[in-house]
């Protein structure tokens, strides 16, 4: 390594330690809420997280961003079929992780908005962003209503007609 580069690294304390993120399901076991999927910045947590448990840590980028999650009630995370209903939630504030740190993304009624049963509804624009940009595959063929947290099947040919213009 070039001595100048080494000196600059030492001078500016280069830190090449990775950042990590982890999802903590902050719902009590009695609530039966499973975090089906979660997303933060560039990191997808695709394995369900049961109540009062945590996901595996995943390497992530240093950033400040909102976290998004899909939660469901009464669904068995060991099931091979997806849940019948999903609720779109977003962290109440942007979350930050620095190089070398681990971000704890605590999904709970206190830290996330959007769970209609908890009177913390997201706007339709916010949920449309999540359903079309963050988790589009989970909402293919459905329209999510932010005010009621319900899914409605969309006609199969409606997308083709809309795209024809």
pLDDT in tens, 114-123: 998 776 789 9
* Residues contacting 20, CB < 8 A, separation 6+: 57, 58, 59, 60, 97, 101, 102, 103
Q: Which range is least confidently modeled, 45-49, 106-110, 113-117, 139-143?
A: 113-117
pLDDT at position 59: 97
Percent above pLDDT 90 for the chain = 76
d(CA 105, CA 122): 19
- Domain boundaries defined on the chain: 18-159
Q: Which helix (H) or strand (E) holds 157?
A: helix 156-163
pLDDT at position 165: 39
Confidence of residue 32 (pLDDT cuts 50, 70, 90): very high
Q: Is the pLDDT of residue 5 over 60?
A: no
Q: What is the pLDDT of residues 60-86, one digit of tens each?
A: 999 999 999 999 999 999 999 999 999
């Amino acid at each position: 390594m070039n001595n100048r580069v080494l000196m600059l690294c030492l001078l500016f304390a280069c830190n090449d330690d990775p950042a990590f993120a982890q999802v903590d399901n902050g719902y009590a076991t009695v609530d039966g809420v499973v975090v089906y999927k979660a997303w933060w910045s560039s990191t997808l947590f695709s394995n369900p997280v049961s109540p009062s448990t945590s996901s595996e840590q995943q390497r992530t980028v240093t950033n400040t961003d909102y976290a998004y999650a899909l939660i469901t009630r009464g669904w068995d995370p060991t099931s091979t079929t997806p849940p019948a209903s999903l609720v779109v939630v977003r962290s109440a504030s942007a979350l930050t992780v620095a190089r070398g740190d681990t971000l704890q993304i605590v999904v709970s009624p206190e830290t996330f908005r959007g769970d209609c049963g908890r009177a913390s509804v997201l706007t339709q624009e916010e949920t449309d962003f999540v359903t079309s940009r963050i988790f589009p595959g989970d909402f293919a063929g459905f329209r999510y209503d932010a005010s009621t947290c319900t899914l409605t099947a969309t006609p199969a040919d409606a997308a083709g007609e809309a795209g024809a213009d």
